[in-house]
Amino acid sequence: MPADTPLKRHVSALIIAGLLFLSAAFLFMKNERELDPDYRKSWWTLAFAAPADADDSRFIIVNHTGSSSFTYELRNGDAPIETHIISVPVRTERIIEPALAAEIRVWPTDHPEDIFSIYRK
């Protein structure tokens, strides 16, 4: 019986274990990249700062786009009341406290077609 027979018996098990380890390492690395909010993504959100408090009209803009300039508009129905241009640096959020409780429309200044609206009933 040759001396390398035990090694030959375990080669396939070692290859399978190695492939399993490399696959798991690759998937963990890919998952970590996908959980990064800025990796190949461009998004922003708009929400009330205190959603449970109906009297609180403060709102938050979270910015993960390439632009830091946003425009927000307070509206009463179809009529705009106030319009402001504000700066929200990339990868940050900003809380805005409007003077009036009205419908709030926000959009990136360089993308006016990308509008989000929130309002309280």
Question: What average pLDDT is seen over the chain?
Answer: 88
Q: Are the CB atoms for 68 and 111 separated by under 8 Å?
A: no
Estimate to the nearest angstrom the gap between the alpha carbon of 104 and the chain centroid.
Answer: 20
pLDDT tens for 38-55 read: 787 888 999 999 998 888
Q: What angle (nearest 5°) sits at the alpha carbon of residue 64, between those of residues 59 and 65?
A: 110
- For residue 119, name the pLDDT band (cuts at 50, 70, 90): confident
Q: How many CB atoms lie within 10 A of CB 104?
A: 21
Question: What pTM value is reported for the model?
Answer: 0.70
pLDDT tens for 6-15 read: 777 788 888 9
Residue 69 pLDDT exceeds 90? yes
Strands (E), the chain: 43-48, 59-64, 69-76, 79-87, 92-96, 103-108, 116-118
